[in-house]
A and B are shown apart, each in its own frame.
Chain A
Amino acid sequence: MTIHASYGEAFERFAAALPAAERAARAAAFDTFAQRGLPDDGIERWHYTNLQPFAAQPVQLAPAAAGTPDLSAWRLEDCDEHVWINGRALNAAAAPAPLPSLDAHAGLAGLHRAFATPGLQLTVPRDVRLDRPLHVLSVSDAREAGEMFHLAHRIRLERGAQALLIVQNLGLPGATRFSTQSLSIELAEGAQLTLVRVQDEARGTTHWLQTTAEVGHDARLDVVNVDLPYDESGDPIPGEATAAKASGGTLIRSDWRVKLAAPGAHAELSGLFGADGRVHLDNQYEIDHAAPHGTSRQWFRGLGFGPSRAILNGRVVVQRGAQKTDSEQRIANLMLAKGAEIDAKPELEIYADDVKCAHGASCGQLDDAAVFYLRSRGVPEAQARALLIYSFINDVLARVPHVALRLRLARRITARLGAGLDLSEATLSGAAA
């Protein structure tokens, strides 16, 4: 596997600044990367997404940002905010952290482990409920082409602890960049974590995320993943199948691995995704039922805005002995324009015999009868369509428990639809009239 020499140079510089005790493990990780390279589309799980070209391109460590960018538009008032810029903590020096173990691809994991800087290191003690949501903002601010950073978060909820965590990746417009991020989550008995991930990377970003969660006895993990990058340049490129092939395109790949490790564990994963323009989105979800009486639910909504590609793979594995598993997965996609492509695949692997596993996937267009109903009330066609698209995505959006964030996301999506819908807290379904 050939990797560009600049990776080695970057690693030498990075390793030199590390405490001596850390260097060996980092060097081993880098060696794995050097040997295995980045995943290519010959690997089943990477069928649609080829990262190998990035191994051959020059990179450099993203420098500390020159100043603090204005983040006021992204701030959530009632949250405890933690900001990282180009992988560096803004508020305080983060403590060194153990390297995450990642299984999406050995070489990619090696790259991440070699360069990872500590992100959020959160432990919520036994029976403590965080009364304010945590808002993690990882900002990327690339001035020169090929800047990279790698950030590792670790979240542990002890027995009976509860938290709401919002992880937002925010790319400021600028040069092309490459970043990876890991979220390692451990939920002890009866712990409850809600994780909202908002992906707002800038154009020209290549980003990989792996979330690895272990859900304990009667613990519960709720995930809402909002993945709606929008290429602000607007111009879709007809006939372009893979944004990765176009310089300046945006490529986002996320691997989610949730293990229901003990009896009674529950996971609910929902995702909203839509690609447009030169955006390539690949989401791979896997729920591993490794213990009996586990329940899992997955709700996904995809939007095909225009010439672009989005991939959704939803895998459920029920291990031998994971009896009384109850799992359900629903994927619905709405195709809104010519040239949009969504590859959605449910996958079930069941090794136990007393289980309930339901799944379904659909791909459709807006209902003409509903469009007419709205138009007959005076709503212009474009706005009628926007309302119906909003209706379609609301199933997932309504799962965002933070109302101000939900409203912000709803506004952004409807603004994206360009029909000037008037959204206020009062008009949100479910809010008090």
Chain B
Amino acid sequence: MSQLLQIENLHAEVAGKEILKGLDLVVNAGEVHAIMGPNGAGKSTLSKVLAGAEDYVVTAGTIRYQGRDLAELSAEQRAAHGIFMGFQYPVEIPGVSNMMFLKAALNAQRKERGEPELDAGDFLAWVRHRVKQMKMDPAMLSRGVNQGFSGGEKKRNEILQMLVLEPRLMVLDETDSGLDIDALKIVADGINAMRSPERATILVTHYQRLLDHVQPDAVHVLAAGRIVKSGGPDLARELEEKGYGWLQQAA
């Protein structure tokens, strides 16, 4: 099994405050990893650092993705190389239709990879199929990006973007929050549809319930900027019962 992502001794800060303090993590192709942990542990920071947000500064350690130092790549290059981050709070962009946005994103990625851009007809078919898969109304394509969407619709839209862009490494930051049971099922189906031997997923979540639908290969507890415990799916259930207190003491 090939290593897709290797994080070693990662230290990162935002606005001068150190959040990640020596984080190690290896994710192999084909795997789903869940990262759980208390608020403020650094879960969102890890997601942002992987996606290349510039206000998150790596001060020590390395991140290798497909054998390459991630620090060399800008946020948009990372996307073109297959890193996708699902946002906890997706941004609204009124007036820029989902269609316009998806087309700009997909074609920019293809261009960066040296692939030809999709023509309008192929693109439309590509997108429409996935809109159906996410059980969304095709009329949403002409609406502004996340404009007036409910929290659940925004999360569903994140997964739609993921299906359209077909990334290699998916980092989903609390994609399950704000979802009702039906929407959770649709989102989970979307994530499962993307599982393949070449791809990997990191699910950042607070709750066991997403993991009932998306079976993880590994579960990690992130506390105070480091992975303090790793295990199998059983660990998530244990956390659900006991909370994080016993682990934080250990850390």
A interface vs B, CB < 8 Å?
A: 367-370, 372-381, 383-384, 387-388, 390-395, 397-398, 421-424, 426-433
Shortest A318–chain B CB gap in Å is 31
- B104 lies within 8 A of A433 (CB): no
Q: Is there an interface contact between B161 and A377, defined as CB atoms closer than 8 Å?
A: yes
Nearest B residue to A388, CB-CB? B93
Cβ 8 A contact of A378, one of B142, B144, B165: B165
Q: How far is the CA of A422 from the CA of B101 in the complex (A)?
A: 10
The 5 closest A-B pairs by CB, nearest first: A394-B95, A378-B79, A378-B109, A427-B100, A377-B105
* Across-interface contacts of B91 in A (CB, < 8 A): 367, 369-370, 373
Residue of B nearest to A393 (CB): B95
Taking a contact as CB atoms under 8 Å apart, the answer to whether B94 and A433 are in contact is: no
Which of A368, A369, A375 has the largest count of B CB atoms less than 10 A from its CB?
Answer: A375
Docked-complex contact B144 and A391, CB < 8 angstroms: yes
A433 in contact with B99 (CB, 8 Å): yes
CA of A111 to CA of B106 in the docked complex: distance in angstroms?
56
Q: Once the chains bind, are B141 and A433 in contact (CB under 8 Å)?
A: yes
Tell whether B235 is near chain A: CB-to-CB under 8 Å. no
A260–B101 Cα distance when bound, in Å, is: 41
CB A386 to nearest CB in B, in angstroms, measures 9
Interface locus among B15-23, B52-60, B204-212, B215-223: B52-60
**B107 within 8 A of partner (CB):** yes
Question: How many A-B contacts at CB < 8 Å in the complex?
Answer: 120
A387's nearest neighbour on chain B, judged by CB, is B96
- Contacts of A379 on B, CB cut-off 8 Å? 76, 101, 104-105, 108
Contact of A391 among B51, B96, B105, B165 (CB under 8 A): B96
Residues of A contacting B: mostly:
helix
Residues of B within 8 A of A395 (CB): 94-95
- If A377-B79, A433-B142 touch, whether A391 touches B95 (CB-CB below 8 Å) is yes
Contact between chains at A429 and B97 (CB < 8 Å) = yes
**Least CB distance, A241 to chain B, in whole angstroms:** 32
Q: Is B139 an interface residue (CB 8 A)?
A: yes
**Complex: how many Å from CA A422 to CA B147?**
20
Q: Provide the bound-state CA to CA distance between A383 and B103, in Å.
A: 12
Instruction: List the B residue with the shortest CB-CB distance to A392.
Output: B95
B54: which A residues are within 8 A, CB to CB? 372
Return B232 CB to nearest CB of chain A, in Å: 30
Q: Give every chain B residue within 8 A of A433 (Cβ-Cβ).
A: 99, 138-139, 141-142
- What CA separation (Å) do A89 and B27 show in the bound complex? 73
Q: Which residues of A have CB within 8 Å of B51?
A: 372, 376
**Which A residues are in CB contact (< 8 Å) with B104?**
374, 379, 383, 387, 421-422
Among B54, B95, B101, B120, max chain A CB count under 10 A is at B95
Proximity string of chain B (76-95) to chain A, C-beta cutoff 8 Å, 1 when within and 0 when not:
10111000110100110111
**With an 8 A cutoff between CB atoms, is B74 at the interface?**
yes
A429 touches B143 (CB 8 A): yes
Nearest residue (CB) in A for B147 is A429
